Structure 1
Amino acid sequence: MHYSKLRISSDATSKLRFLRQRTGLTPNLLCRIGLMTSLEEGPIGNVPPPDEEGSEFNSYTLTGEHGALYVALLRWVEEREGKEARLADDELLTRLRGHIHRGVGTLSVRAKSGTELLSLIPVAA
């Protein structure tokens, strides 16, 4: 899957502003953490996609040098560990936006500070 820009929802953009004030982290890092939080919750499936009225990110700004890893994790979760048919790129991009939207929403409830944000990261076994 290749994309050059990704526009997130207006709701996620608003929540990112508050999260940035609370944690001091930039929106792209918060989106990455939100994406991983949402992927941990499981597939989005056929939930209606969020709007595209919010902030726009360049792909490299959003995922850095690890873009292929994020896409692989997204495919693994959304294609149910290889049990479902391979999703088309446009559908995968829609689900990426959905995961960012859901994850940022989760972070906005759980993380009131940078320290609380760190507590969401599981300790390696």
Structure 2
Amino acid sequence: MKFNRLKMSYRSQNLLGQLKTRTGLTPNITGRFAMCLSLKDPSPPNPEEFDEKGSEIHPSVLFGEYEDIFMALMLKRLEKDKLDPQLYLNKMLRAHFNRGTIALFARINDISDFYSMIKQERTE
């Protein structure tokens, strides 16, 4: 099983651009944080909420050397949500990425906010 290229929503593309301006971090780095935030949310995201009018990002760019870890996290989450990985892996990857980007954007105003967010997430 493999991830396909991820087609982000137009909104997520814009938010990631703004996050880069705010923090200096590239979309692949902020995208990893976004994925983690969404995967931690107990409710499943709705893939239909997000258009596919944004940029494409290749999984090897998005996840880098951590692609296998994110695959394991996605498979575990699909199991928890009782979704067939063959049918839903890439659809739910896109949904988690987009939902997580929106959640991350609301929490990050500058690079120092990452420290506060990570500290808070570790204690929850």
TM-score by length of 2: 0.86
Higher mean alpha-carbon deviation, 51-60 vs 29-38, is at 51-60
- Indicate how the Cα distance of structure 1 residues 42 and 16 shifts in structure 2: closer, same or farther if over 3 A, else same: same
Post-superposition CA distance 1:21-54 (Å, at most 9, x none): 1111000111111000111112425552511111
SS at match of 1:48: helix
Question: Which residue matches 1:92?
Answer: 89
Does the aligned pair in 2 maintain the 1:7–1:54 contact within 8 Å? Answer: yes
In structure 1, the residue corresponding to 2:48 is in which secondary structure? coil
Secondary structure in structure 1 of the residue aligned to 2:91:
helix
The 5-angstrom pairing of residues 48-67 of structure 1 reads: 48-67=48-67
Identity %: 30
Deviation at 1:6, TM superposition (A): 1.4
Q: Could you tell me whether the CA contact under 8 Å between 2:34 and 2:104 is conserved in 1?
A: yes
Shift of 1:95: 0.6
Distance change >3 Å, CA 45–CA 57, structure 1 → 2: closer
Q: Distance in 2 between matches of 1:49 and 1:65?
A: 29
| Richer in helix (by share) | 2
CA apart distance, 1:102: 0.8
For the Cα contact (< 8 Å) 1:49–1:94, is it kept in 2?
no
Query: Is the 8 Å Cα contact of residues 45 and 78 (structure 1) preserved in structure 2?
Result: no
Q: 1:107 to 1:45 in 2, by over 3 A?
A: closer
**Corresponding residue for 1:12?**
12
Unpaired runs of at least 5, structure 2: none
Query: AA paired with 1:104?
Result: T
Distance in 2 separating the partners of 1:53 and 1:99: 16
Number of equivalent positions: 122
> What's 1:21 paired with?
21
Segments of structure 1 that go 5 or more residues without pairing to the other structure are none
Cα pair distance change 1:99/1:45, threshold 3 Å: closer
Distance 1:108 1:59, change over 3 A: same
